[in-house]
A and B are shown apart, each in its own frame.
Chain A
């Protein structure tokens, strides 16, 4: 999801509809309105609709949706004669190059700002932060074709944007703000650059362009290139830009891309053909639309449709990124029909409702423990290992690679440390303090699919002047009887407990927990000045 701002006046003028109507229609074409002020309408665009990143794309879609223009925008973009040659060493680093020429553009400051905003958001979304593709825009009249994508050395020099002077590639990567940001893309002593026939460097591709051919208000003719790794993404982004220029009245022309082993003509603007069955539409959506209605609805989405013998042949423009399957066309029909116009059916399938086995166990355990007079805690699954250390608990935790806080670096493998930590923040409350938690914990288990296991534990802590093993053991006994578990106690030696006042809890041969009187050191570690007795046992052993 990325947000973008349409200049409000311009959008209203382009669509030719009142503001209120536009604001109502925008969410229906998948541009969710976030804020509106005097000058702009800020919307959120999902990953499937890069064409809506620009005001021209939005206007195009809205004019269809509001039935001002229907069907495909017809393009016939002639060859420009401009050629690009890709050297094999550069192809190895950036395998995809596409481009276009746009003539007779009319730019002003606001239009340039918008163009750069669209460029940046396309780089971010379709280009996946310039990994899949990155856009370059140049003043064609400052250059002489043909153009070459070739590797240049670290000492090659040019004057980059956002700098005062000419710099070497080495300097750009070390000192230039944008150069430094993308220096990680450069591995080794050579890097691909776009160079014109006079040897002038247009750009260090994906990193920074040269000042000498920058697009300004005076620019009349623009050269566009995209370099990257994904031809489909690059060609889509190129079509988004070219269609925007075409909508503004400029002339788009194709260029030739010559690789050692192949030749491309870009942009590839031929609409893609998809076949869709009308009965499929009605079957998926639950509608009774006629072929004629479906055709009309698709034309509102700016698609062209020919009615074939058994199916509809749909033509989808190349600036749309989201067509993989027939079902994507079905969605277009639903969008144009508008979701709120569907006749809604109440649920008709009958199935029997039930809680999961785990839920039954968890609910019985919570019922039992609360009935003992204990208050329920609910702590985070995220865990700080220091809590385990303070209670001499298992330090072999499932660790998170990218935590956002020192408090949440691992997952809990036991409930007791988190419950004690919570009690340490309640020392001002009246005693006795009797609390419990029933919840999921995660431990390491090399035998499962996830190398870990999510179990359910129950933990009870009783803190008061007379708290001891006797109380905890009786509560454990009653708890196990309620849960229908038969258990044995075995002597447990652990730093966590006062010696001789703790036991392991066994169900059959499996050690499922412990009961005991906490060692004064543990109490001190948690800042508790009142004796405490605890038990914690596993209630459910997970599959993974």
Chain B
């Protein structure tokens, strides 16, 4: 036994219970990092037992400290209002809120019922401290607080500490007491022993098989990414060709080319993230743009169209793509070799409240089949997806509506252990859309919601944990505790 090992072990033997690594280091007069490596050695020799313990703690972030000093954005807004009713813009200016803070102030003030907005003017409805404020102050004062909301708002971070607790084993005690018995044994075979032949007759210290093995910090892939990869493999196996798209798109491709009228409710600020800088992109070639314009204004292929004046500037606006169907229209415009079967897995963005059920960034699995294909084929294709992708026991089709498909259908699947769930939307692309794109064969298109399925496969219940960066979970050493 090495001198340092003996020192640490004798400190341990002086105590009945467990000692934390830091106290042990102090008593033994060595650095914590070296105590840790000594302990690992003692543990593998079976002389000590190690246990990990976590102390839950949270601490304020820079934003949290700033909010504590100056007030949360919503408080600053409420403060400048006082008893007055002010136009929102004016109140924002007075409260000196940045554009990003304005949205936050508004959202949280509305949520806590602190603000009433009528006719574009804001006034204070309640100046009671909000849930966030109460928690913020409690945390700052060192009192117990529900910090989940603060962590969600990045006002606080999880600063839980892990400590390693060690205790001596029976064989540790005997090794310490009786160095003689241990004397003739070595703990490891060395190249020197092999070279010199001294291994002959050498006794090796036995391993204690009851000791918990040390975790290996190996490389691992992210479970969500692996899930998406598995989806890709399934689709390729079904004979589909993968294509990619870009995260920022013009409204032209994301909406207009899909025959979505410019005043369609899915195009307003509540449903799409608009890019502020840069704000406008370029439209494609004019012949194509004129066809899309005509489809909207007066219709193509005998359609009546949406009957309004189509605005090219609206169409050029840039957005963070709000769904994946824009990839279909791009690909149909680019490649006209039919039959064709295409799929894509796309990160898409949509404004929403952020909680355990909703997030603003998610993945869609979409695609199309173009060729000699009919509505009954679409239903068959959807049934195949339900079986292959969702392991469904049964499927059901319910009529639906999308501006770019007719007929439109929603797919319900009976999933083992989960029951009936809506798993996707589909339909046949409208003739107005296909004609503008110059596509002369029928096209059936579909989009499957796969994030729910990913959550099941990852064993999580909070949608935000799809993007988990908790190393304990990702290393596989800890289960994800959702919710």
Is B100 part of the binding interface, using a Cβ–Cβ cutoff of 8 Å?
A: yes
Which residues of B from 352 to 384 have beta carbons under 8 Å from A? 352-354, 360-361, 369, 371-377, 379-381, 383-384
Partner of A342, one of B154, B371, B376: B376
Find out whether the CB atom of B383 lies under 8 angstroms from the CB atom of A344: yes
Q: How many residues of B contact A (CB 8 A)?
A: 122
Find out whether the CB atom of A440 lies under 8 angstroms from the CB atom of B347: yes
The residue of chain A having its C-beta at the shortest distance from the C-beta of B243 within the complex is A356
Task: Report the Cα distance A519→B236, complex, angstroms.
Answer: 44
A positions within 8 Å CB-CB of B = 27-30, 32, 46-49, 125, 128, 131-132, 173-174, 177, 179-184, 230, 232, 283-287, 322-328, 330-331, 334-335, 339-340, 342-356, 358-359, 363, 366, 369-382, 384, 398-409, 411, 422, 424-430, 432-435, 440, 442, 444, 446, 449-454, 465, 542-544
Find out whether the CB atom of B265 lies under 8 angstroms from the CB atom of A359: no
Find out whether the CB atom of B380 lies under 8 angstroms from the CB atom of A345: yes
**Inter-chain contacts of B45 with A (CB < 8 A):** none
Find out whether the CB atom of A327 lies under 8 angstroms from the CB atom of B360: no
Q: Closest CB-CB distance, B14 to chain A, in whole Å?
A: 27
Given known pairs A339-B409, A378-B469, A400-B275, the reply for A285 and B281 (CB within 8 Å) is no
Find out whether the CB atom of A426 lies under 8 angstroms from the CB atom of B469: yes
Task: Report the Cα distance A116→B468, complex, angstroms.
Answer: 47
Find out whether the CB atom of A346 lies under 8 angstroms from the CB atom of B120: no
A-B contact pairs, 27 of them (CB 8 A): A32-B398, A47-B401, A177-B118, A232-B307, A285-B375, A325-B406, A328-B406, A334-B399, A334-B407, A339-B398, A339-B399, A354-B242, A355-B242, A356-B243, A372-B219, A381-B349, A399-B275, A401-B273, A403-B100, A422-B469, A427-B159, A434-B219, A440-B347, A449-B282, A449-B284, A453-B246, A465-B33
Among B135-143, B199-207, B295-303, the stretch that binds chain A is: B295-303
Find out whether the CB atom of B406 lies under 8 angstroms from the CB atom of A425: no
Task: Report the Cα distance A346→B388, complex, angstroms.
Answer: 13
Given known pairs A366-B221, A449-B282, the reply for A330 and B406 (CB within 8 Å) is yes
Is B286 part of the binding interface, using a Cβ–Cβ cutoff of 8 Å?
A: no
Find out whether the CB atom of A450 lies under 8 angstroms from the CB atom of B249: yes
Find out whether the CB atom of B274 lies under 8 angstroms from the CB atom of A351: no
Which residues of B from 256 to 309 have beta carbons under 8 Å from A? 263-265, 269, 273-282, 284, 299, 301-308
Find out whether the CB atom of B339 lies under 8 angstroms from the CB atom of A429: no
The residue of chain B having its C-beta at the shortest distance from the C-beta of A440 within the complex is B247
Task: Report the Cα distance A440→B346, complex, angstroms.
Answer: 11
**Inter-chain contacts of B380 with A (CB < 8 A):** 344-347
Find out whether the CB atom of B118 lies under 8 angstroms from the CB atom of A180: yes
Task: Report the Cα distance A450→B73, complex, angstroms.
Answer: 33
Q: Which of A335, A356, A375 has the most CB of B within 10 A?
A: A375
Find out whether the CB atom of B432 lies under 8 angstroms from the CB atom of A230: no
Find out whether the CB atom of A404 lies under 8 angstroms from the CB atom of B354: yes
Find out whether the CB atom of B299 lies under 8 angstroms from the CB atom of A325: yes
Q: Closest CB-CB distance, A444 to chain B, in whole Å?
A: 7
Find out whether the CB atom of B401 lies under 8 angstroms from the CB atom of A411: no
Q: Which of B219, B249, B277, B280 has the most CB of A within 10 A?
A: B219
Among B165-173, B175-183, B190-198, B470-478, the stretch that binds chain A is: B470-478
**Inter-chain contacts of B376 with A (CB < 8 A):** 285-287, 342-345
**Inter-chain contacts of A363 with B (CB < 8 A):** 229
B positions within 8 Å CB-CB of A = 33, 54, 63, 73, 100-101, 103-104, 107, 118-121, 153-154, 157-162, 217-222, 224-225, 229, 232, 235-250, 263-265, 269, 273-282, 284, 299, 301-308, 318, 320, 339-341, 347, 349, 351-354, 360-361, 369, 371-377, 379-381, 383-384, 396-401, 403, 406-409, 428, 430-432, 442, 466-472, 474-475
Partner of A426, one of B273, B318, B442, B470: B470
Task: Report the Cα distance A285→B378, complex, angstroms.
Answer: 9
Task: Report the Cα distance A450→B252, complex, angstroms.
Answer: 11
Q: Closest CB-CB distance, A347 to chain B, in whole Å?
A: 5
Q: Which of A46, A403, A444, A542 has the most CB of B within 10 A?
A: A403
Partner of A351, one of B107, B229, B237, B340: B340
Find out whether the CB atom of A285 lies under 8 angstroms from the CB atom of B374: yes
Find out whether the CB atom of B349 lies under 8 angstroms from the CB atom of A382: yes
Given known pairs A331-B407, A349-B371, the reply for A442 and B248 (CB within 8 Å) is yes
Task: Report the Cα distance A230→B309, complex, angstroms.
Answer: 11
Q: Closest CB-CB distance, B394 to chain A, in whole Å?
A: 11
The residue of chain B having its C-beta at the shortest distance from the C-beta of A334 within the complex is B407
The residue of chain A having its C-beta at the shortest distance from the C-beta of B410 within the complex is A32
Find out whether the CB atom of A425 lies under 8 angstroms from the CB atom of B158: yes
Given known pairs A339-B409, A376-B474, A451-B278, the reply for A351 and B361 (CB within 8 Å) is no
**Inter-chain contacts of A377 with B (CB < 8 A):** 222, 469, 474
Given known pairs A346-B380, A399-B275, the reply for A373 and B232 (CB within 8 Å) is no
Q: Closest CB-CB distance, A280 to chain B, in whole Å?
A: 11
Partner of A376, one of B225, B373, B379: B225
Task: Report the Cα distance A494→B340, complex, angstroms.
Answer: 49
Task: Report the Cα distance A287→B303, complex, angstroms.
Answer: 23
**Inter-chain contacts of B354 with A (CB < 8 A):** 404-405
Task: Report the Cα distance A492→B468, complex, angstroms.
Answer: 33
Task: Report the Cα distance A398→B396, complex, angstroms.
Answer: 42
Find out whether the CB atom of B222 lies under 8 angstroms from the CB atom of A451: no
**Inter-chain contacts of A434 with B (CB < 8 A):** 217, 219
Find out whether the CB atom of B276 lies under 8 angstroms from the CB atom of A342: no
**Inter-chain contacts of A29 with B (CB < 8 A):** 399
**Inter-chain contacts of B469 with A (CB < 8 A):** 377-379, 422, 425-426
Find out whether the CB atom of B120 lies under 8 angstroms from the CB atom of A349: no
Find out whether the CB atom of A444 lies under 8 angstroms from the CB atom of B276: no
**Given A347-B239, A430-B162, 4 extra CB contacts under 8 A:** A342-B376, A381-B247, A440-B247, A454-B246
Task: Report the Cα distance A131→B33, complex, angstroms.
Answer: 69
Task: Report the Cα distance A173→B120, complex, angstroms.
Answer: 11
**Inter-chain contacts of A179 with B (CB < 8 A):** 119
**Inter-chain contacts of B245 with A (CB < 8 A):** 454
Task: Report the Cα distance A359→B474, complex, angstroms.
Answer: 22
**Inter-chain contacts of A409 with B (CB < 8 A):** 100
Q: Closest CB-CB distance, A144 to chain B, in whole Å?
A: 33
Find out whether the CB atom of B471 lies under 8 angstroms from the CB atom of A181: no
Find out whether the CB atom of B275 lies under 8 angstroms from the CB atom of A401: yes
Q: Closest CB-CB distance, B15 to chain A, in whole Å?
A: 24
